[in-house]
Amino acid sequence: MEYLESLGDGWTIYLWLIIGAMIIMASIYWIRWAARNEQFDEDIKYLVFTEDDRDKMSPEEYAKSRDVLAKQEESRIRVLKQQEEAHHAK
């Protein structure tokens, strides 16, 4: 505690600057991760619909939901295959 009291006035601003820089760097890292892992897909909302919702949707919406579901399944298979190859490469 004496060490903190021995510091001059205004040292806390540097602490806040360092913490702020760390938060910005972490935010940039997670945004890059999300972009690389297909997390910014606006069509994700269509994945909640099932075959039972067909009568509640317009034909265009239903077709879009099935298309999005097919693309997500392809992406899932691709990612699982990459993970399996990475696991076997070890």
List, for residues 44-65, the tens digit of each pLDDT value. 788 888 888 888 889 999 899 9
0.85 exceeded by pTM: no
Give the Å distances, CA to CA, from 16 to 13, 24, 77.
5, 12, 44
Please give the distance of CA 25 from its chain centroid, rounded to a whole number.
16
What letter does residue 37 receive in the DSSP assignment? T
Query: Within a 10 A sphere around the Cβ of 75, how many other Cβ atoms?
Result: 13
Mean per-residue pLDDT for 5-9?
Answer: 76
